Amino acid sequence: MIALTLSEIAAVLGGTIHLHGSDTPDTVVSGIVDTDSRVMEPGGVFAAKPGETTDGHLFVGRAVEAGAVLAIVEHVVEEPVTQIVVPDVVTALADLARDVVARVRALGRLRVVGITGSNGKTTTKNMLARILQDEGETIAPRGSYNNEVGAPLTMLRVTDDTTYLVSEFGAAAPGEIAKLAGLVTPDVGIVLMVGMAHAGGFGGIEATTAAKSELVRAVAPGGLAVLNADDGRVVSMAAIAAEGGVEVRWFGQGETADVRASDVEVTASGTRMTVTADGVGIPLHLRVLGAHHVGNALAAIAAATALGVSLDDAVARLETLELAERWRMQPLGSDRVRIINDAYNASPDSMAAALRTLAQIAAPGERTVAVLGAMSELGEYAGEEHDRIGELAVRLRIQRIVIVGAEARRMFLAAVGEGSWDGEAVFFGTADEAYEYLIGELRDGDRVLVKSSNSAGLRFLGDRLGESFS
């Protein structure tokens, strides 16, 4: 965080200072801000956020032991550290982030990019950050820090020398993206796609579209919206951009896109394509697995080139990226048995894309195995969407379909109903049972996809399999 005095922080938060030791209202604080005492560093600020299962106020002492010099709290705790008491710690984080970003913006250097979409946010964020980091100090979220806590914590990492802030905006309900994006008023807003992820919370696909369009509305007048020309729902957001005086830059695989891909070839070593930006085309070998990441790469290139990065540099830097993020199309195992661990998040769209990738990358003589768990946050659409994925796995001729967990059982039943009658599809109640089966079932030449939502926990099954076949 930039250097601020205790009195400045308290004024921004509307809080009351309780000084400790030799601290005065003019004492300057400039360390990291976090809600996790385990990552606290000397000089840092600990935000004691109450949680669903525990309370951050219980960990103030640990944060102090790790070097915290200030705690933002909702009530005074008996620990040897200066504290600022606020009505709500989460609101305080947002207020502090808004103020810090505004102060750095006033220096004239900082450019802010916001990213949203039903799928692909974290991958695109990492791709864009990789391109921009060679241009100047770039701050981007750790993992999927994209909610009401994670997004402000990322914003609070900016310094006076930061050139780019890349923010990822997720949401499970209407209004959340508007709230987060409103903290920074992005110069560039990227909308990747609109799908069924979190549709249960939004109330349907049209409501999801409206929620994702909140980012376009939040872009500063005169700014840029980077929109997916291949997604009709995203295309409709161009009208919103026009109303707000925001320019549109299109990405996609159609001829009308400003940044587009052609001659796409998906292999087990990545995806090869020709990227054309503003009439200039060059080859790109994207080592991140999956054709569904082509759009993410195009979005990152579209934003980066609009910010002044040359196409040659953008492509060269993307080619150095081997993995988008842990548990996202992460290659594990060995050439003998290749495990693709993609079990951090799952929606109907990302599940279908991962299955298609599995079918595409298997060479003749190699067997495809899909280990699938439940997709969360689909609400009333959960049943039919799990059915659809089970049917798709059969239609793609996936040779072994392993369904794990009671919440995914409909996927298994749909696969059987679609024609997987001879043992191709199996069901296990737990990941341990699935692991024991797979250890005995997998053989040389197998290509294995592990895919589920985070809550299903199959990412750890993927890790176990990767280690067993390394």
Q: What is the pLDDT of residues 162-175, one digit of tens each?
A: 999 999 998 878 89
pLDDT at 51 (0 to 100): 84
94 contacts 178 by C-beta, under 8 angstroms: no
Answer with the one of 318, 341, 373 that is the final residue of a domain.
318
Task: Let me know if residue 325 belongs to a domain.
Answer: no
Could you tell me the pTM of the whole model? 0.87
Phi, psi of 444 (to 5 degrees): -55, 135
Instruction: Check whether 198 has a pLDDT greater than 60.
Output: no
Q: In terms of residue numbers, what domain contains 261?
A: 92-318
Instruction: Evaluate the CA torsion angle 298, 300, 305, 307 in order and state its sign.
Output: positive
pLDDT at 377 (0 to 100): 82
Q: State what percent of residues in the chain have pLDDT above 90.
A: 82
Q: What is the pLDDT of residues 89-115, one digit of tens each?
A: 999 999 999 999 999 999 999 999 999
Mean pLDDT of 310-333: 90
CATH, residue 200: 3.40.1190.10
Answer with the one of 268, 285, 318 that is the final residue of a domain.
318
Residues 362 and 394 grouped into a single domain? yes
Residues 83 and 131 grouped into a single domain? no
pLDDT at 398 (0 to 100): 96
Instruction: Check whether 143 has a pLDDT greater than 90.
Output: no
Nearest to residue 237, comparing CAs of 270, 292, 174, 192? 192
Residues 111 and 221 grouped into a single domain? yes
Task: Let me know if residue 323 belongs to a domain.
Answer: no
Instruction: Check whether 197 has a pLDDT greater than 80.
Output: no
190 contacts 115 by C-beta, under 8 angstroms: yes
Q: Residue 152: beta bridge partners? A: none
Instruction: Check whether 345 has a pLDDT greater than 90.
Output: no
Band (221; pLDDT cuts 50, 70, 90): very high
- Residues marked as binding? 117-123
Residues 64 and 128 grouped into a single domain? no
- Residues marked as binding for ATP? 117-123
Separation of alpha carbons 241 and 263, rounded Å: 31
431 contacts 422 by C-beta, under 8 angstroms: no
Mean pLDDT (the chain, rounded): 94
Instruction: Check whether 319 has a pLDDT greater than 70.
Output: yes
Residues 162 and 232 grouped into a single domain? yes
List Cβ neighbours of 8 (8 Å cut-off, separation of 6 or more): none
Band (75; pLDDT cuts 50, 70, 90): very high
Residues 128 and 261 grouped into a single domain? yes
Band (48; pLDDT cuts 50, 70, 90): very high
Band (290; pLDDT cuts 50, 70, 90): confident
Residues 19 and 150 grouped into a single domain? no
Task: Let me know if residue 324 belongs to a domain.
Answer: no
Residues 74 and 161 grouped into a single domain? no
Mean pLDDT of 207-225: 95
pLDDT at 203 (0 to 100): 64
pLDDT at 423 (0 to 100): 73
What are the distances in angstroms from CA 128 to CA 115, 180, 184, 270, 307? Answer: 10, 19, 18, 18, 11
Task: Let me know if residue 248 belongs to a domain.
Answer: yes
CB atoms within 10 A of CB 308: 10
CATH, residue 12: 3.40.1390.10
pLDDT at 207 (0 to 100): 86
Task: Let me know if residue 389 belongs to a domain.
Answer: yes
Separation of alpha carbons 196 and 208, rounded Å: 8
Separation of alpha carbons 220 and 180, rounded Å: 14
Task: Let me know if residue 261 belongs to a domain.
Answer: yes
pLDDT at 145 (0 to 100): 81
Number of domains in the chain: 3
Mean pLDDT of 174-185: 95
Mean pLDDT of 371-385: 91
Answer with the one of 87, 106, 133 that is the final residue of a domain.
87
Residues 159 and 243 grouped into a single domain? yes
Task: Let me know if residue 53 belongs to a domain.
Answer: yes
Residues 51 and 126 grouped into a single domain? no
CATH, residue 354: 3.90.190.20
Mean pLDDT of 46-60: 93
Residues 297 and 356 grouped into a single domain? no
Separation of alpha carbons 183 and 164, rounded Å: 15
Q: What is the pLDDT of residues 10-32, one digit of tens each?
A: 999 999 999 999 999 999 999 99
Task: Let me know if residue 377 belongs to a domain.
Answer: yes
pLDDT at 131 (0 to 100): 98
Residues 292 and 312 grouped into a single domain? yes
Q: State what percent of residues in the chain have pLDDT above 70.
A: 98
